[in-house]
């Protein structure tokens, strides 16, 4: 029997105000489950993070903008995210998951509601099978012409080795790519790891590649994530104009290591070399990628 969903954790505010136009580029919405049921099979209920709860979380941390990424637990039904975009009144953007048979006019309709890209996933379950309902990297080819016409990008969720192996063919489609969760590198191998160095080299050379830098999914040192700091500093040195920050709200499968978003933002400010870098990551970079109006 599945455990009932619990409300998402309420974060503390960061110790200092965020710059105007700050954006959380990676979050999900779940529930209410009687209105937005999860796709089968349901292995667990994610924390209850409704659209209203997410907007309240943004207000609490002082974030003006947010990006909702459609989660695999919702299958191909994007209605929860789309309704949240409608309710955000221009404050939110969305990243959808769609089937390869989706028509251009259907994608264009999503764009009118605030969608700016698609998520592709190559994360595997412990038995090696694909994550249910996820759309893999091969889904890009049939959708690429529409994405180019709409000016969208794709967001990749996969282990670092998979990403670096497939990036050349994905970049050949001429579509910007954002990499989720810092590329899911193995922090235990250090920044000299071959896969991370390949990713770093590509980020430095390819202006079409963006990286989301929240530390919690790759760190083994909750709650301060100090083992990730050298990786962040390497990415910031290589390409400060292509880094993005995300809360990962409502922290699916975090259990006893649920991050405090305000604390994570304080760490980001500490890790940044100056205020200009912090503003780039929180304001200027997401403004450019997701098409928000300039502040």
Q: Give the pLDDT score at 216.
A: 96
Residues facing 130 on adjacent strands: 124
Q: Does 105 reside within a domain? A: yes
Q: Does 99 reside within a domain? A: yes
> pLDDT tens-digit profile of 249-286?
999 977 789 999 999 999 999 999 999 999 999 999 99
Q: Does 16 reside within a domain? A: no
Residues facing 48 on adjacent strands: 7
Q: Does 18 reside within a domain? A: no
Around Cβ 71, how many Cβ atoms within 10 Å?
Answer: 23
Task: Find how far residue 142's CA is from the centre of its chain.
Answer: 23
Half-sphere exposure of residue 237, counting CA atoms within 13 Å on the CB side? 8
| Euclidean distance between CA atoms 147 and 70, whole angstroms | 17
Consecutive H or E run containing 166: helix 160-171
User: Domain tally for the chain?
Assistant: 1
Phi-psi region of 182 (alpha: psi -120 to 50; beta: other; left: phi over 0): left
Q: Give the pLDDT score at 262.
A: 98
Active site includes 180? no
Residues of the chain with confidence (pLDDT) below 50: 1
> pLDDT tens-digit profile of 43-75?
778 999 999 999 999 999 999 999 999 998 899
Q: Give the pLDDT score at 52.
A: 98
Structural domain of residue 66, as residue ranges?
A: 23-290
Token pair listed for 94: 């969305």
Identify the CATH number of the domain in which residue 230 sits.
3.20.20.140
Q: Does 29 reside within a domain? A: yes
117 contacts 212 by C-beta, under 8 angstroms = no
| Euclidean distance between CA atoms 266 and 63, whole angstroms | 13
Consecutive H or E run containing 120: strand 115-121
Q: Give the pLDDT score at 1.
A: 47
Among 86, 72, 14, CA closest to 268: 14
Among 199, 201, 161, CA closest to 178: 199
Catalytic residue among 138, 241, 248, 260: 248
Q: Does 209 reside within a domain? A: yes
Consecutive H or E run containing 231: helix 229-238
Among 58, 23, 88, 27, CA closest to 295: 23
240 by DSSP, 3-state: which?
A: helix
In eight-state DSSP terms, residue 229 is H
Token pair listed for 84: 């949240």
Q: Does 199 reside within a domain? A: yes
| Euclidean distance between CA atoms 104 and 219, whole angstroms | 39
Among 259, 233, 200, CA closest to 26: 259
90 by DSSP, 3-state: which?
A: coil
Measured on CA atoms in the order 272, 276, 282, 285, is the torsion positive or negative? Answer: negative
| Euclidean distance between CA atoms 109 and 206, whole angstroms | 30
Q: Give the pLDDT score at 259.
A: 96
Angle between helices 229-238 and 194-205 (to 10 degrees): 30
Q: Does 13 reside within a domain? A: no
Among 268, 263, 199, CA closest to 19: 268
């Amino acid at each position: 029997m599945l455990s009932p969903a619990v409300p998402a954790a309420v974060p503390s505010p960061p110790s200092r105000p965020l710059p105007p136009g700050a954006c959380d580029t990676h979050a999900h919405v779940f529930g209410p489950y009687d209105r937005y049921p999860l796709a089968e099979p349901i292995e667990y209920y994610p924390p209850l993070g409704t659209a209203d709860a997410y907007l309240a979380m943004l207000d609490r941390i002082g974030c003006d903008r947010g990006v909702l990424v459609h989660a695999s637990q919702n299958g191909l039904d994007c209605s929860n995210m789309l309704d949240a975009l409608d309710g955000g009144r221009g404050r939110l953007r969305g990243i959808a998951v769609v089937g390869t048979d989706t028509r251009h006019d259907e994608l264009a309709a999503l764009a009118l509601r605030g969608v700016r890209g698609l998520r592709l996933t190559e994360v595997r379950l412990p038995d090696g099978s694909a994550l249910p309902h996820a759309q893999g990297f091969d889904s890009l080819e049939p959708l690429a012409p529409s994405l180019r016409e709409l000016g969208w990008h794709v967001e990749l969720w996969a282990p670092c080795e998979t990403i670096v192996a497939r990036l050349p063919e994905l970049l050949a489609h001429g579509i910007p790519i954002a990499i989720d969760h810092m590329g899911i590198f193995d922090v235990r191998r250090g920044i000299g790891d071959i896969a991370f160095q390949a990713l770093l080299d590509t980020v430095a050379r390819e202006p079409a590649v963006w990286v989301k830098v929240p530390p919690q999914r790759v760190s083994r040192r909750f709650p301060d994530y100090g083992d990730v700091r050298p990786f962040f500093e390497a990415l910031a040195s290589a390409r400060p104009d292509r880094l993005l920050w995300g809360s990962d709200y409502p922290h699916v499968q975090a259990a006893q290591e649920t991050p405090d978003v305000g604390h994570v933002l304080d760490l980001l400010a500490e890790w940044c070399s100056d205020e200009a870098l912090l503003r780039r990551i929180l304001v200027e970079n997401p403004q450019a990628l997701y098409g928000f109006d300039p502040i």
